[in-house]
Chains A and B, each alone.
Chain A
Amino acid sequence: MTTARHHYLEIIRDNLRIDLAEEKEVISELETHIEDRFQELKQSGLSEEEAENTCLGLLGSARVIARQIYEAHSQGSWCQALLAAMPHLLFATLFALNWWYHVGWLFVLLVMVIGTSIYGWWHGKPTWVFPWLGYSLVPVAAFGLMLPHLPREWSLLTIPFYFLLALWWLFCIVVQTTRRDWLLSSLMLLPMPIIIGWFLTLVPGAKITSETLGRINYFAPWIALSFLILALTIAAFIRLRQRWLRVALLSISGLLTLTLVVYYAGGRLSIQTFAGLTLIMWGLFLIPPLMEQCLRKTRRILQRYALFTPPHR
């Protein structure tokens, strides 16, 4: 494959951001189209370079093709929208009906989150799995909260290991997700600032006491409302085709929900905390695209290296 053709297909691949199996098919399809046109133009008397340039010119902008194919593939069905919104709906129900203190319901929810995440991850990572995947990080965070309650010697030993492992786990999931599309990483991590906001409101000193339960009881309807807003956001996200609309939806809804948390927290969260949470929220929209750029650069370097490595004899 010539450099111009390779570069053209590389731009399409970078901007497609669809399921990997589908991406492969799209690239192969376009490759065969270019080859057909190229051969025809060459037979008509054009040089290889002229034929290549004419052929790519006839196809048009690689970015526009990639965007249009993304829009053809991006919209999920209503069923997928419901499935994607389900974890947020379940958490909203848990607080709306005050079931959060029943260990049985929490266990069922945990099994559902982990089971659905694993199922989706091994079945082609469809878009609906990413909100579930975000919640699979909640047990890791909950386990971390229990660590300070261990005997002092145990805490000192386990906390550093825990943080390293938890960060490694988070990093691996975010990298894998960003490889597909950075926007899905933002979608997956969207509840994080909201959950942190509620956590800081309910457990101010990071110590769970009997007062904490009373506070959860008091704030339960508002917690449910914030999860309900997240559920509606995710459902709308799945139904939207245009990428810019999806980015706008996530950022506006995330910020609105965060403001709602701070408003209903009624002075329990300071302006500095709100600013910190807003920063985390914006980090969700800035770090994944930067990570995507780094991953692409690494992929290109590896590809170049593979191209210049002599084949094994």
Chain B
Amino acid sequence: MVQSRELTKGNSDSLLLCLLAQQPMYGYQIIKELENRSQGYFKFKEGTLYPALHRLEKAGLLLGKWQILPNGRPRRYYHITARGHTKLSAERVQWQDFINAVNLILQPAED
């Protein structure tokens, strides 16, 4: 559990960008979605989510917009920007390289 928390902490920006590239979401929805999609592996500490979202927004990677839900409640939806997409693409390549390298190590050596 500690390991997964550390992994989430170290990769929170990539995870958020990846999730929001699929559809705009608000804070609470992001936490639920991450938890559901990773089958409970990625558990975001709720208080750390908003500083991360605001940091990404300040960096121009996300854009927050207030929207009213059908039940009349306002929610701040985060949209990924063009700059965010570029950053995500670069990080995807890095991740893919890392996964390939780890797989190569994990595979039993061929004689």
A residues contacting B by CB (< 8 A) are 25-26, 28-30, 32-33, 35-37, 58-61, 64-65, 68-69, 71-73, 75
With a cutoff of 8 Å between Cβ atoms, the chain B residues found around residue A36 in the complex are: 28
A25, A36, A58, A61: most-surrounded residue (chain B CB, <10 A): A36
A residues within 8 A CB of B76?
25, 28-29, 32
Main secondary structure of the interface of B (DSSP, over half): helix
Cα distance A47–B55 in the bound complex, in angstroms: 35
B28 touches A65 (CB 8 A): no
- Contact yes or no, B74 A28, CB < 8 A: yes
Enumerate chain B residues within 8 angstroms of A33, measured Cβ to Cβ. Answer: 27-28, 46, 50
Q: Quote the shortest CB–CB distance from B47 to chain A (angstroms).
A: 3
Interface core residue of B27, B47, B64, B73 (most chain A CB under 10 Å): B47
Contact (Cβ within 8 A) A69 B51? yes
User: Shortest distance in angstroms between B62's beta carbon and chain A's nearest beta carbon?
Assistant: 11
Are B75 and A32 neighbours in the complex by a CB distance under 8 Å? yes
- Which residues of chain A are near B51, meaning CB under 8 Å? 65, 68-69, 71-72
Residues from chain B with Cβ under 8 Å of A59 in the complex: 46-47
Q: Is there an interface contact between B54 and A72, defined as CB atoms closer than 8 Å?
A: yes
Q: Known: A29-B76, A36-B28. Is A60-B58 also a contact (CB below 8 A)?
A: no
Say yes or no for B107: interface residue by CB 8 A criterion. Answer: no
> Contact partner of B74 among A32, A64, A68, A71, CB < 8 A?
A32
Q: Which residues in B have their C-beta under 8 angstroms from that of A60? A: 45-48
Q: Are A73 and B46 in contact (CB under 8 A)?
A: no
CA distance A109 to B38 in the complex (A): 59
Is A65's CB under 8 angstroms from B50's CB?
Answer: yes
Cα separation A59 to B67 with both chains bound (whole Å): 23
- A69 CB contact (under 8 Å) in B46, B50, B64, B74: B50
How many A-B pairs have beta carbons closer than 8 Å: the answer is 55
CA distance A32 to B46 in the complex (A): 13
Interface size on B, residues (CB 8 A): 19
Kindly provide the distance from the CB of B56 to the nearest chain A CB, expressed in whole angstroms: 9
| Cβ contacts A to B, 23 pairs, < 8 Å | A25-B76, A28-B74, A29-B27, A29-B50, A29-B76, A30-B50, A32-B28, A32-B73, A32-B76, A33-B28, A33-B46, A35-B73, A58-B47, A59-B46, A59-B47, A61-B47, A65-B50, A68-B47, A69-B50, A69-B54, A71-B55, A72-B51, A75-B58
Q: Which residues of A contact B57 (CB under 8 A)?
A: 72
B residues with CB within 8 A of A: 26-28, 45-48, 50-51, 54-55, 57-58, 64, 66, 73-76
Complex Cα distance A37/B50, Å? 15
Determine the chain B residues whose CB is within 8 A of the CB of A25 once the complex forms: 64, 66, 76
Q: How far is the CA of A64 from the CA of B50 in the complex (A)?
A: 11
Judge whether A58 and B46 touch: CB under 8 Å: yes
Q: What is the bound-complex CA distance between A26 and B66, given in angstroms?
A: 12
Contacts of B45 in A (CB 8 A): 60
Q: For the complex formed, measure the closest distance between the CB of B84 and the CB atoms of chain A, giving whole angstroms.
A: 15
A61, B51: Cα distance in complex, Å: 13
Residues of chain A within 8 A (CB-CB) of B26 are 32
Chain B's closest residue to A28 (CB) is B74
Q: How far is the CA of A72 from the CA of B50 in the complex (A)?
A: 10
- Provide the residues of chain A in CB contact with B48, threshold 8 Å: 60, 68
Taking CB atoms, residues of chain B closer than 8 Å to A28 are 74, 76
Q: How distant is B109 from chain A, measured CB to nearest CB, in Å?
A: 45
CB closest chain-A residue, reference B27? A33
A143 → chain B closest CB, angstroms:
41
Contacts of B47 in A (CB 8 A): 58-61, 64-65, 68
